[in-house]
Structure 1
Amino acid sequence: MAVDVPGLVSVIVFYVCILAIGVWGSRKSKKVEKKCSGSKSEVAIIGGRNINILVGIFTMTATWVGGGYIMGTAESVYSPTQGLVWALGPPAYVLSGLFFAKPMRSKRYVTMLDPFQNRYGKAFTVTLLLPALVSDILWVACILAALGGTMSIILGLSSTISIIISAAVSIVYTLLGGLYSVAYTDIIQLCFIFFSLWLCVPFMVLSPAVTVISQTLPLNQTSEHAWMGHLDLEVAGKWVDEMLLMALGGLSYQALYQRILSAASSVQAQISCFAAALTVFIMGIPSVVIGVMASAADWNQTAYGLPPPFERGDAGKILPLALQHLTPTWVSVLGIGSVAAAVMSSMDSALLSSASMFTQNIYKTTLRKTASETELQWVIRIGVLVVGLAGTGLAFGDDSVFALWVLSGDLLYCVIFPQLLCVLHFQRANTYGAFSGFVVGLLLRGLSGEPILGIPPVLLYPGWREENNVIRQYFPYRTIAMLFSVVSILAVSCLLNLIFEHELIPQSWDFLQVFKDKNETEEDEPCLLTKQTSFKLEECPLPSNFLHLFCFKLRSQ
């Protein structure tokens, strides 16, 4: 297939513009570093908590509207076995604004792992970083795979070259300016995605190859349209599972909290979440329309021919295929620009996400407590590079963008979301409960199997089927793993709280020193009398032993 030179030049110009904006953002970051009272590393991670509300809404929206969201939505709507009913939009922002934005921002955390480090300590924080890191790498792979497939179809360019170039551009500007470069490039990218995708819609609707959608029928059905899809009782569990995965798993991304924590106040963070929820929904409409048009198209009237994409196993590439065969060439080039913009708008967020957590919660607090600000900035840059290279390597191996998109949220939903829920909203949760919940969630998810990774299930839930020698679960097994993780955290925490508070077992059995530290804190707590008065204990005219006795009586009452 010949390379489309004008289209390739257009994409290169777009990349150069994005890189230039990223460089400008890095200069803005350096100016803020000089003015900001906080550390330079915090400016790179959360922009010195100085991101205004409009920029915050744009960058929060762009975080989710990536190649996986755009192409995955079109793939779901087009697929005859799924349809519109399976296009599960992400309501995570509404939930984050209601329940998570205020407690996170009001306590001035820097990363999503800060509340865990404050309550559970360093060991558990390191443990929790691993699934978050794996999820970010899968997310990067998902969106790069989306771009590689699009460019190879429309421009005739090798998907390998497309992935490498796009990854390099995102890595470079994220390295240069941290959150400021990410935020300002997100504005341009999001505007380009919106206008270019909506421009493609009327051309696709008026394409001669697209039949009247009311005439389009699903496989073996006569009562409803193919693009609408259908939800049988047998697969309802899977639908619920994936819906909750998108809604609750989306609450566990560091990239989301990076935007929340960069807001100037808790109220601004909540407003940004609610506004982003609306804009994300609007940004998904063109992908839905493209999926519907592709479902209604007579592919025999196009150069693609028969059999249609679904029967050839090309459902994951339906958006670029529809752009190539159902719109004029110049329109399809704009469409690929929108996918490229979407990819970079989410990739930079994922890159900065893992690098920030490692630097703030592992390197700075455990590995190098005396590290300088310059050293921390270099650690962030190295982290961005490592995650980018890992995700790029993984992007060459899978054709289903939607599958990678779902898989990237699996670990977050089953392992991290229960932890985040309990650490923010259940004060009695402790380290023992957190470790037990982590193990239970990870174990149940692993035993349920994963067809994408070739892991056979050990636990077979009701309704499982064997399809093409692969066992698939239709029971909401991810939700079961999540719920059991929450129950485990709360049950173990409450049980051990009860045991140690009533001294039912020796204090020496507290090997994580959870209750020992609590008891020491209570013993070291200053007397109520000395808290409410301005004089020091040594200056008090009463005998010191009398005051200590008085404090003891107050605590015992």
Structure 2
Amino acid sequence: MSEPGALGLGPVVLQAGVDSDVNPAYLAIFVVYLLLVLAIGAWAYLKTNDVEDFWVYGKRLGPWLATWSYVANFVSAVSVIGYIGSVYGGGYSIVTGIVFGLMLGVSGLYFVVHKVRELNHVTFPDIIAELTGYEIARPITGTVLLANAWVYLIMQLVGAGLLVTVITGVPYEYMIWVIGGVFILYTVLGGLVSVAWTDLVQGTLMVATVAVALGYMALDLGGIASINQQFAAIEPANVAPLGEGAYTVLGVVASIVAFFGTIFTSQATIVRINATDSIRTAKIHLAAGGAILSVFYVMLVTLGAGTTVALNGAGLAVENVDRAFPVLITEYVPTTIGTVIIVAILSGILSTTDTRLHACGVTTARDIYDYFADGEPSDERLMNVSRISTVVFGLAATAAAVDPPGTIIGLYNWRAILLTSALLIPVYVTLYRRDTAGKAVLLSIVLGAVFGPGWEALGTPLGVPAAFMGVGMAVVGLAVGHAAWRGDEGTPTAATASDD
């Protein structure tokens, strides 16, 4: 892609880390927003009576609340800032490489959700333990999920910090701790009750305000068709399905596999499915959520093109693509429209952040602490462990976000590879083939978790995508392990199997 600003005046390159003067109007909006979500958290604390309420909303989540909570959970800093930044840097190829895979993931989950709900477990590791017959599957799988959730927390905080720093002028290293502290507090207070109700508010605001922002950009730039024409004029590869060498066909397939795998293997997704009041509600919330998200992503990608055109025409450029949309807000759109957009972005980021943070607390207490604890811990003890671990993981992610290890999309790709490599094949196979050897499933999880991210860390040698390597090794481990151990195990159950 050509350098933004080539069709206008000389580009004004906005450096990452340069803080502008404090903007009182935007800062006031941000403070009011944080007070609102804290108030919801305090209300939810009064509604949380036991560990089942904290973990899965007492299994009373209805269709309306479940749908909007799922939409808000799904859309994050990756979507609102990362995707727009990716369109700014690489054009519409993100639709082929990432969004298509995400939507396939939601569609695929719809057809397997009844099996998940019928198992009637709280967490994903619980399901693995029943499918394999080995309780040790809980801490093994839980460790993979915690690594994923922690990385996800970091990238959400980075997105929130970049946005709020650019729009308010408050230095990033201070603002990141304010944001981290607030979302930790309201998640700790009410668990999934806090998360679900804040998500309802945030999901509704998010979709509505992105629609308003796109409408404004379309009017300002001459319509959607005009945006596409100007976007193509900047660089023809912007409108090519695979971009300008950004993706190969093999890379697109690997991306679809990776992101498809993250949907079903997400702890937050499993917790929400099991929090619904029925299988019917579980299916409805996925179908309705998928329809809303499909429209939302079309709007978001088009808004990315509009952002590129607007910044280019104004002679603005950014070195860090994640800052493209925040710069549009502060340097291009009127304050009124900017205020609307800010609400949308903050809603998307915080709604996903609280979900992943809640999942960390549930995973630590239910899948790790409960396994290693002497005797059977009380519900009160488990809820306390959930809250303490929520604080610890939140603080650790906030500290890491001060100096992040990569871009938002880069971090998202890494956790997609981890989840897909470790869990996609063994879980799907054992859901439909209950006679699969339990030890083979555990071997498959370990091999996928090691080889997928490991191959990515090595720079994908031989041009083989990391998702392919991880999934391939998981398949090998499952096949070889099943051949070696299928005669040794019989048909164990999670309640009776030995953990040798």
TM-score range, shorter chain: 0.7 to 0.9
Query: Which residue is equivalent to 2:344?
Result: 338
Tell me the TM-score normalised to structure 2 length.
0.87
The answer to whether the Cα contact below 8 Å between 1:59 and 1:187 also exists between their aligned partners in 2 is yes
The answer to whether the Cα contact below 8 Å between 2:85 and 2:324 also exists between their aligned partners in 1 is yes
Work out the CA distance in 1 between the residues paired with 2:453 and 2:337: 44
Which of 329, 332, 336 does residue 335 from structure 2 map onto? 329
Equivalent position SS for 2:154: helix
The answer to whether the Cα contact below 8 Å between 1:141 and 1:391 also exists between their aligned partners in 2 is yes
Work out the CA distance in 2 between the residues paired with 1:449 and 1:241: 12
The answer to whether the Cα contact below 8 Å between 2:60 and 2:277 also exists between their aligned partners in 1 is yes
- Code of the residue aligned with 1:322 in structure 2: it is L
Q: Answer yes or no: is 1:361 the counterpart of 2:367.
A: yes
Equivalent position SS for 1:428: coil
Trace 1:158-237 onto structure 2 (pairs within 5 A). 158-207=171-220, 212-217=227-232, 221=236, 226=239, 230=243, 235-237=248-250
Work out the CA distance in 1 between the residues paired with 2:263 and 2:118: 21
Q: Deviations over 1:222-264 (max 9, x none)?
A: xx65586637597222222112211122211110011100111
Query: Which residue is equivalent to 2:444?
Result: 437
Work out the CA distance in 1 between the residues paired with 2:57 and 2:491: 38
Q: How many Å apart are 1:490 and its aligned residue? A: 3.5
Q: Which moved more, 1:254-263 or 1:421-430?
A: 421-430
Q: Which has the higher contact order (CA 8 A, sep 6+)?
A: 2
Greater Rg over alpha carbons, structure: 1
Trace 1:58-457 onto structure 2 (pairs within 5 A). 58-80=68-90, 83-86=93-96, 88-89=98-99, 90-91=102-103, 92-99=105-112, 101-118=113-130, 119-207=132-220, 212-217=227-232, 221=236, 226=239, 230=243, 235-297=248-310, 299=312, 301=314, 305=315, 308-309=317-318, 313-398=319-404, 400-450=407-457, 456-457=458-459
The answer to whether the Cα contact below 8 Å between 2:38 and 2:182 also exists between their aligned partners in 1 is yes
Work out the CA distance in 2 between the residues paired with 1:212 and 1:59: 32
Q: Deviations over 1:190-237 (max 9, x none)?
A: 11112222222233234479975414437774xx65586637597222
Which of 8, 18, 34 does residue 15 from structure 1 map onto? 34
Query: Which residue is equivalent to 1:553?
Result: none
The answer to whether the Cα contact below 8 Å between 1:138 and 1:404 also exists between their aligned partners in 2 is yes
Work out the CA distance in 1 between the residues paired with 2:454 and 2:191: 38
Work out the CA distance in 2 between the residues paired with 1:436 and 1:521: 20
Query: Which residue is equivalent to 1:29?
Result: 48
Query: Which residue is equivalent to 2:469?
Result: 480
Work out the CA distance in 1 between the residues paired with 2:428 and 2:233: 41
Identity %: 19
Equivalent position SS for 1:176: helix
1:208/1:106 CA distance change after superposition, 3 Å: closer
Q: Deviations over 1:415-437 (max 9, x none)?
A: 12223223322212223202321
Q: Which moved more, 1:233-242 or 1:398-407?
A: 233-242
Query: Which residue is equivalent to 2:485?
Result: 496
Equivalent position SS for 1:327: coil
Task: Could you tell me which runs of 5 or more consecutive residues in structure 1 were left unpaired when the two chains were aligned.
Answer: 31-39, 451-455, 465-474, 501-513, 523-557
Work out the CA distance in 2 between the residues paired with 1:517 and 1:416: 20
Equivalent position SS for 1:394: helix
- Code of the residue aligned with 2:232 in structure 1: it is L
Work out the CA distance in 1 between the residues paired with 2:60 and 2:345: 29
Query: Which residue is equivalent to 2:12?
Result: none
Equivalent position SS for 1:117: helix
The number of equivalent residue pairs is 470
Query: Which residue is equivalent to 1:2?
Result: 21
Q: How many Å apart are 1:175 and its aligned residue? A: 0.8
- Code of the residue aligned with 1:110 in structure 2: it is V
Equivalent position SS for 1:93: helix
The answer to whether the Cα contact below 8 Å between 1:73 and 1:284 also exists between their aligned partners in 2 is no
Q: Which moved more, 1:262-271 or 1:78-87?
A: 78-87
- Code of the residue aligned with 2:461 in structure 1: it is L
1:426/1:320 CA distance change after superposition, 3 Å: same
- Code of the residue aligned with 1:419 in structure 2: it is P
Tell me the TM-score normalised to structure 1 length.
0.78
Q: Which moved more, 1:185-194 or 1:335-344?
A: 335-344
Q: How many Å apart are 1:449 and its aligned residue? A: 3.3
The answer to whether the Cα contact below 8 Å between 2:311 and 2:328 also exists between their aligned partners in 1 is no
Work out the CA distance in 2 between the residues paired with 1:104 and 1:18: 31
